[in-house]
Amino acid sequence: MKQFYVALGLTLALGVPGAAAAPSIRAGEWTSYVEAFVSDEGRVIDTANNNISHSESQGYGLLLSVLADDRPTFERIWSFTQTELLVRDDGLAAWRWDPASTPHITDINNATDGDMLIAYGLALAGKAWSVPDFTDRARTMTETIGRSLLVEIDGMPAILPGTEGFVDRPAGDGPVFNPSYWIFETMPVFAGLDPGTDWPAIGETGIEIVRRARVTKTGLPPDWARLNDDGAVLPAADFPPEFGYNGIRVPLYLMRAGAKVALLDPFREHADSEGLQRVDVQTGAVLEQLGEPGYRAVGAAMECVARGTAMPEELRVMSATSYYAATLQLLTLDFLRREHPACVGEPAP
C-alpha cells in the first residue's frame, strides 16, 4: 500500500497522535476554536455562512477533536451528528442543517466530503481511544461511500460530490466532480476499513486531476469540474469557473498526505504574503484575495515546505476569525508541528 502511494507522489507521513502523545493542537487555541464555533449541543457552526452547520463542519470538528485529544468535545459533536444529520436511509449524512429553518434539515442530499471527514474522524478516534464502536461506524460509512458514491471518468474511479445531481445533468456535462473532495490522507485509512474498494486508485485519480489541470491557463483545477472528450479538466456548466473556497483545501490536503513539492507549484503561484487567491480559471483574473490568517497559513506552509521559508509568527497560533479559515489554520498547524516543526519555530521531536 505505502509503495503505491510513494509512486503516486504521496509519502503518507501523517501520524495522528493518540491519547498518550502530545496533542498537535494546543490547548489554548483549541479552547478558542470550541468557544467560537462549537455549540453546547455539539453543532459546529459555519459563522461565515448564516451560522448553518453541515456534514463538513461536523466532520472537521470530529477530526480536530482527535488531534486535540479532546474526547468530551468529540462525543458532543458526534452526538449532534448522529441525532441531527445521520437521518438518511443509507447511513450517510444530510449535508445542510439550518437553525433558522423548520425542519432544520434543508437539503437531505449528502455531501461526500462531509461523509468522508466524519468517517475519518471516527476511524482516528477509534484508534486513538480504543473504541471499537467508532471504528465500526467508520467502516460502515466508508463501505457505503465506496459502493454508492464512485463513478468512472476517463477510465478512472472518481468521487461523486453527492448521491443526487452530479451525473444525469440537464447540461449533459456529467459526471461533475469536485477536486477538493479528494482528502488524500483518508485513502490508506479507508483502504484498511474497506478493502473491497480500490481506494489507492481513487487517490491516484485525484493526483491525476491536479496534474491535468496544470496545462490550463491558470494551472488550477476549478472547484466544480468535468472532463471533456480528450480528458482535459474543465469547469462544469452551471457552476462558476473558479478556483475558490473549495479548492484552497487541495494544496493543504496534498501537503498533509506528503505530496511531492512539484504538485504544489500552481497553487503557490496564486498565493502571496497577502493570502491565497480566488481565481477565474478561464481568464486568470483574480476575483478575491483571501487574506484571513487561516488562508494565509496554507500559503505560508506551501512556501516553507517548498523553500524552507519559516511561517510568519502571527500565523503560528490559530486565529478564530471564521469557522472555515480557522479550521484550515488548525489543520495546517497540526501538519507543520508534526512534519516540519522548523516552519513554526519549534524543535524537531
List active site positions. 56, 113
**First and final C-alpha spacing in the chain:** 26
Strand pairing report for 242-243 and 275-280: antiparallel
Residue whose cell numbers read 505530496: 259
Q: What share of the chain is helix, strand, coil (3-state, %, to 5)?
A: 45, 10, 40
Cα 193 to Cα 120: distance, rounded to the nearest angstrom: 10
Cα 344 to Cα 338: distance, rounded to the nearest angstrom: 10
Give the three-state DSSP class for 349: coil
The backbone torsions φ and ψ at residue 220, rounded to the nearest 5 degrees and listed phi first, read -110, 145
Q: Which residues pair with 157 in a beta bridge?
A: 152
Residues 119 and 141 sit within 8 Å (Cβ to Cβ): yes
DSSP 220-279: ---SSEEE-TT--EEEPTTS--EE-TTTTHHHHHHHHTTB-GGGGHHHHHTEETTEEEEE
Closest CA to 138 of 111, 115, 159, 109: 115
Residue whose cell numbers read 437539503: 107
Cα 188 to Cα 199: distance, rounded to the nearest angstrom: 7
For residue 344, what are the CA distances in angstroms to 91, 113, 316, 326?
40, 29, 6, 17
